[in-house]
Structure 1
Amino acid sequence: MKEVQSTMAGVVLMISVADGDIVSTGQTVVMLESMKMEIPVESLEAGKVTEVKVAVGDFVNEGDVLLILE
């Protein structure tokens, strides 16, 4: 199990993957909005998405788990 974590506090603006999707290293999986800037969150590892733990509009803190990869 691998986790994709938030790199900073912000609001989830967009989720570009869903359960079952295959992601590659460096792929943008979530877009956050913080201080009126869009901040991409990239996967640090390749894998298959087994669970998306956030929804658009959610507020997340730095280090919160956004996705679980297998």
Structure 2
Amino acid sequence: MTEIKASMAGSVWKIVAQAGEQVGTGDDIVILESMKMEIPIASEEEGTVKELKVAEGDFVNEGDVIAIIE
């Protein structure tokens, strides 16, 4: 199990991978918006998105868990 964490503070602009989806290393999970920039947050390993901890529009701080990959 791997926790995918926010690399910086920002708003969840778009959820790319849904719970139950297979993802590969480097596949985008969500896209954050911070200071008018879009920052993709990618999976660090292959697996299945077990749970998303955020919804579009949520604000996250650096280090917040965004998703769980199994």
- Range class of TM-score, shorter chain: over 0.9
Listed as ranges, the gaps of 5+ residues in structure 2 are none
CA RMSD of aligned residues (A): 0.6
Cα distance in structure 2, aligned partners of 1:40 and 1:24: 14
Match status 1:27 vs 2:38 = no
Deviation at 1:69, TM superposition (A): 0.9
Runs in 1 of length 4+ with deviation above 3 angstroms?
A: none
Listed as ranges, the gaps of 5+ residues in structure 1 are none
Identity of aligned residues (%): 57
Deviation at 1:28, TM superposition (A): 1.0
Instruction: Give the structure 2 partner of residue 48 of structure 1.
Output: 48
Cα distance in structure 1, aligned partners of 2:60 and 2:48: 22
Cα distance in structure 1, aligned partners of 2:11 and 2:41: 12
Q: Normalization by structure 1: what TM-score?
A: 0.96
Q: Normalization by structure 2: what TM-score?
A: 0.96
Aligned length: 70
Match status 1:7 vs 2:43 = no
